[in-house]
Amino acid sequence: MTGEKEEKTFKVSEENAKFILLSACLDNHIIFYGFDQEKKNPTPFCYDVNTEEIKQLQLTYHDSDGVEFLTTICSECEDYFLVMCGASYVLTEDQLADGTKYEYEAREEHYGLISKEDYWNSIDNIIPFTLAESPMVNDKYRSKYGC
């Protein structure tokens, strides 16, 4: 190597992206969002560093209010991504320090595993799973530790 740096350039069609916002780099893919002229309606894309191919990411979910979100990569292992693939709101009861009880809507996120190949190709093949209840939300824990 002669000390010169290689520069990569990638283009997205102007109709889809007048403005670019980089988001993450995972599994040799750069995730970015293209925005239209008014900087509204972000469209997610990925750039494959190895093949230099650009694809639109199309795996999305709707929360209980009908708002659409990109299926988000939370973490990765060798062959799979841990993704957030859903969300809903559940009525939850809590209490203040003085013992007064109250209810509120808590956001409950849904997670799953998806193969990296399926994610990059927008194939909805998510293996959903349920997380065990955290001791932080367990009534027995709250009583024992006064929170």
At 38-91, the pLDDT tens digits run: 656 678 888 898 998 989 899 998 877 788 888 999 999 999 999 999 888 888
- Asked if 86 and 124 sit in the same domain, the reply is yes
- Asked if 112 and 78 sit in the same domain, the reply is yes
| Per-residue confidence (pLDDT) for residue 112, from 0 to 100 | 92
- Asked if 73 and 24 sit in the same domain, the reply is no
Sequence-distant (6+) residues with CB within 8 A of 69 are 60, 61, 62, 63, 87
- Asked if 103 and 137 sit in the same domain, the reply is yes
Q: Choose one of 13, 31, 57: the last residue of a domain.
A: 57
Q: Choose one of 57, 75, 99: the last residue of a domain.
A: 57
As a whole number of angstroms, the distance between CA 62 and CA 69 comes to 6
- Asked if 11 and 76 sit in the same domain, the reply is no
- Asked if 47 and 91 sit in the same domain, the reply is no
CA 57 to chain centre: 12
- Asked if 72 and 12 sit in the same domain, the reply is no
Contact of 44 with 70, CB cutoff 8 Å: yes
- Asked if 47 and 76 sit in the same domain, the reply is no
| Per-residue confidence (pLDDT) for residue 124, from 0 to 100 | 93
For residue 143, what pLDDT band results from cuts at 50, 70 and 90? Answer: very low
| Per-residue confidence (pLDDT) for residue 65, from 0 to 100 | 78
- Asked if 24 and 74 sit in the same domain, the reply is no
- Asked if 109 and 52 sit in the same domain, the reply is no
pLDDT tens, 95-121? 999 999 999 988 888 899 999 999 999
Domain of 126, in residue numbers:
58-147
User: Of the spans 35-44, 50-59, 122-131, 132-141, which averages the highest pLDDT?
Assistant: 50-59
Q: Choose one of 57, 73, 95: the last residue of a domain.
A: 57
- Asked if 108 and 120 sit in the same domain, the reply is yes
Number of domains in the chain: 2
- Asked if 46 and 71 sit in the same domain, the reply is no
Q: The dihedral of CA 36, 30, 45, 125: what is its sign?
A: negative
